[in-house]
Amino acid sequence: MKFQGRRGSSNINDMRGGGGGGRFPVGGLGIGGILILLLLRLLGGGGFDVNPGTETTSPPAQTRQQASTEDTLYEFASVVLADTEDIWTEQFQEHGQEYHPPQMNIFTGAVQSGCGYASAQTGPFYCPADQSVYLDLSFYDDLTRKLGARGDYAFAYVIAHEVGHHVQRELGVMSQVQNIQQRVSKEDANRWSVALELQADYLAGVVARHQQEAGYLDPGDIEEAISATIAVGDDTLQKRAQGYVVPDSFTHGTAEQRTEWYKRGWNAGDLSDWNTFSALGLQ
């Protein structure tokens, strides 16, 4: 994706190097990670838990090259966030509404959010309590090395997906789903969660369509994003972690579903075909 020299967002907060993440202990998906995942479920937020059951250790000191790479990723994330601001502001205006962009907090290792404590193990997530996207830039390495989703636009998809959750909050979808989930069984609550996540994938596809029309995408970028939708499917992650899948436990959707809804958003370029809840028989 073309990003150098383009406008970056002013709604980005660098919490690296003692600004937020460095004050908290770093570990695997221990009680802190579990608690924030439960809070995100209760509050309607979304995250990428791509390392179920694994442990991480404190990150080593950065080399100069690693710091340079992180600075580039920071600039990239800022430009992607700016694109989402422009796109959703325009889309909301077309429907007579005002869009209020989220904050993006860039952290290293661990962070205290409005939804509780989270480590990098939690993955990128959106916290509706403080209307913020949280992103550890090391997730880029997780995408490329652990999941095989290579290319900068795979990372852009992740950011656009999390911003999609903020769009859902702005439109009242998230609160409606939260209210329903509190009244139904765990299995049905998971189905509503899947629909919410697939809708965020759709919204990421809408962003991609507008970036393409603006001339920002490079050849192969959409294929990079699709490699990520496949890599983060519940079935893909469960097979990788335990060798088999448990469909009733899915909370984000299969690789096929995530890819389908991302493509739907790309094809539509607006909200005309975004009703994942009806498509899954929930309405």
How do residues 187-242 score in pLDDT, each as one tens digit?
999 999 999 999 999 999 999 999 999 999 999 999 999 999 999 999 999 998 99
Mean pLDDT value across residues 124-147:
93
Rg of the chain's alpha carbons, rounded to an integer?
17
Which of the residue ranges 17-21, 23-27, 94-98, 260-264 would you say has the lowest mean pLDDT?
23-27
Instruction: Name the residue ranges covered by the structural domains of the chain.
Output: 68-280
Mean pLDDT value across residues 171-182:
96
- Predicted confidence (pLDDT) at residue 126 exceeds the cutoff of 50: yes
How does pLDDT run across 23-70, given as a tens digit for each residue? 332 222 223 333 444 445 444 556 665 554 444 444 445 555 556 788
The pLDDT assigned to 67 comes to: 63
Task: Compare 81 and 34 and report the one with higher pLDDT.
Answer: 81
Structure tokens given for 199: 């809708």
Tell me the average pLDDT of the chain: 86
For the chain, give the DSSP string.
---TTSPPPSSEEE-TTTTSGGGS---SS-HHHHHHHHHHHHHT-EE----TT----PPPPPPHHHHHHHHHHHHHHHHHHHHHHHHHHHHHHHTT----PPEEEEESSEEEETTEEEEGGG-SEEETTTTEEEEETTHHHIIIIIS---SHHHHHHHHHHHHHHHHHHHTTHHHHHHHHHTTS-HHHHHHHHHHHHHHHHHHHHHHHHHHHHTT-PPTTHHHHHHHHHHHT-HHHHHHHHHSS--GGG-SS--HHHHHHHHHHHHHH-SSTT--HHHHTT--
The pLDDT assigned to 29 comes to: 25
Backbone dihedral angles phi then psi of residue 40, each to the nearest 5 degrees: -60, -40
The pLDDT assigned to 46 comes to: 64
The pLDDT assigned to 121 comes to: 83
